[in-house]
Amino acid sequence: MWNLIKPRPATLRLWQLGLLVLLFLFWHVMTRPGLIPPFMFDNDKQAAFSFGEPIKIFGVIRDWFFINADIYQHLWVTLAETVMAFAIGAAGGLAGGLWLALSPMASAILDPYIKAMNAMPRIILAPIFAVWFGLGMGSKVALGVTLVFFIVFFNVYQGVKEVSPVVLSSARMLGASARQLLRHVYLPSVTSWVFSSLHTSVGLAFVGAVVGEYLGSSQGVGYLILQAEGSFDINTVMAGILVLTAFALVLDEMVGAIEKRLMVWQPKVGETEKL
């Protein structure tokens, strides 16, 4: 029996799923009023009040998706904001990183400004963006872009600096022009850096969208969470967090899938197979 389910690559998913179930079970047991005698709080309703109850949370999620089917418009808004912030921020970071890494003078001039803008707590810009772009999607996208841009920017910048000088010289000796160097040497060379930054950026694009919604909006999952919090409805807050987490995971998986396709040339460890 144990040999069948022993942790190994084939049963990896099973174990991951099992851990998740266990986590929710623990959550359920600890918060369900009347199940175990209270040991932290004065009465057994308090745990449920502060941490929510998994069964009720799943009830909320079910209502959102199937019974009332009213989450779709909110989810759509949040996802659209996230994807736009992600795309614009990543494209801008890539272009900016390549440009500054390849023109040392511009980089030297702008260096303190880049550092300052990166060091600035950019979440605080949200109210200003709300003034500039209104309370619609624009201000959320803008906030997400400022978060994503710098992550991608610094990774691309670093990636260009680490391009193998030998490969570069070799391409030059093979007659590559400046454009061809960019297209055939710099770009492929920074892809691994870009992708490692994209994984972090997906999460941050979500942060931008949700925080933006949280601070002022009329739709989006962040708005749902804010409303629920206003009435101390911890179950709905938790449900919102779970839904967001699930979609962040899906987006990250998508980035991973694209990465896998583009990075076939990268050596993988342990390519041998035991016969």
Partner 1 sequence: MAAPAIDLQGVACTFVSKDHHGQRYTAVQGVDLSVGAGEFVSVVGPTGCGKSTLLNVAAGLLAPSAGSVQIFGEPLTGTNRRAGYMFQAESLMPWRTALQNVMAGLQFQGVAQAEARTRAQEWLARVGLADFGDRYPHQMSGGMRKRASLAQTLVLDPDIILMDEPFSALDIQTRQLMENEVLSLWQAQKKAVLFITHDLDEAIAMSDRVVVMSAGPASHPMGEFAIDLPRPRDVAEVKTQPRFLELHAAIWGELREEVLKGYAQQLKKA
Residues binding partner 1 (CB under 8 A): 164, 166-167, 169-177, 180, 184-185, 188-189, 191, 264-267
Q: Where are the alpha helices (DSSP H) in the chain?
A: 2-5, 12-31, 45-51, 54-62, 72-102, 104-119, 126-133, 137-161, 165-173, 178-181, 187-215, 221-230, 234-262
CB nearer to partner 1: give 195 or 247.
Answer: 195
> Please, what is the minimum distance in Å from the beta carbon of residue 165 to partner 1?
9
Evaluate whether 68 touches 123 at the Cβ level (below 8 Å).
Answer: no
Provide the residue type at 35 as one letter.
Answer: L
CB nearer to partner 1: give 7 or 267.
Answer: 267
CB nearer to partner 1: give 9 or 267.
Answer: 267
Query: CA–CA separation, 102 vs 92, rounded Å?
Result: 15
Q: What is the CA radius of gyration of the chain?
A: 24
Query: CA–CA separation, 205 vs 237, rounded Å?
Result: 20
CB nearer to partner 1: give 73 or 170.
Answer: 170
4 φ/ψ sector (left φ>0, alpha ψ -120 to 50, else beta): alpha
CB nearer to partner 1: give 167 or 246.
Answer: 167
Evaluate whether 123 touches 143 at the Cβ level (below 8 Å).
Answer: yes
